[in-house]
Amino acid sequence: TGMEHVSKEGGSAFALSRPPGHHSSPSTACGFCTINHAVVCAGHALFSEDNAQVQRVAMLDIDVHFGNGIAAALGSDPKWENKARYCSLHQQPAFPFSGGKNAESIFAKYGSANNLLRFLPMLPGIDGRIWLKTLKEKALPFLHEFNPDLLIISAGFDALDSDPLASLELTPDDFRQAAIQIRETFPDLPIIAGLEGGYDVDRLPEAIAAFLEPL
């Protein structure tokens, strides 16, 4: 799989996954999502005997919707404590209406919420300049200080300005710039990205290609 390849060989890989997964909790399908690919990938990387070199996993969610399923999975099971760290940049208010500011403690049932989860809600209409500034100054430092062995990206592209299901104002080049920031922060880290949302089917391929090129 892509995760096994990058954890052993380095570099990056992209999973063209459908349906998306980041809303699905350990017990419930939600928001088009049935299997939470990012959580499954993190669990395999951390707890499989074949991947003993992976001790800490950082998880970055750039889908326009909050990844409530990832937060619920990590926050409800103590096995993730000091093993995984999750950060979500998302529109708020928007589905699933649960990733508000300072809501980390609602999801984190074990350990320190500030060490496990970071939610970065953004108002409708935010453009790429502000989004990229938040990524650079808040999201990536939170994940970098964790010193991860693997980065998993929930790569949704529904923050595009033309997406019919959300109201952020990103362009394909903003996603390119995001990937540049990510690689500059983690120059040698194995990265696996998986497709989440993205519902402007005409511009989705352009956004994906722009994001993957710098990785």
Of these residues, 23, 37, 65, 90, which one is catalytic?
23
Query: CA nearest 135: which of 124, 146, 123, 143?
Result: 143
Show the tokens assigned to 65.
């919707």
Show the tokens assigned to 32.
């088009």
Query: What is the C-alpha to C-alpha distance for residues 206 and 211, in angstroms, rounded to an integer?
Result: 9
Query: What is the C-alpha to C-alpha distance for residues 198 and 162, in angstroms, rounded to an integer?
Result: 10
Q: Give yes or no: 23 in active site.
A: yes
Q: DSSP string covering the chain, please?
A: -HHHHHHHH-SEEEE--SS--TT--SS--BTTBSS-HHHHHHHHHHH-GGGTT---EEEEE-SSS--HHHHHHHHT-GGGTTTEEEEEEEESS-TT----TT-HHHH--SS-HHHHEEEEEE-TT-BHHHHHHHIIIIIHHHHHTT--SEEEEEE--TTBTT-TT---BB-HHHHHHHHHHHHHHSTT--EEEEE-----TTTHHHHHHHHHTT-
Q: Which residues are catalytic?
A: 23
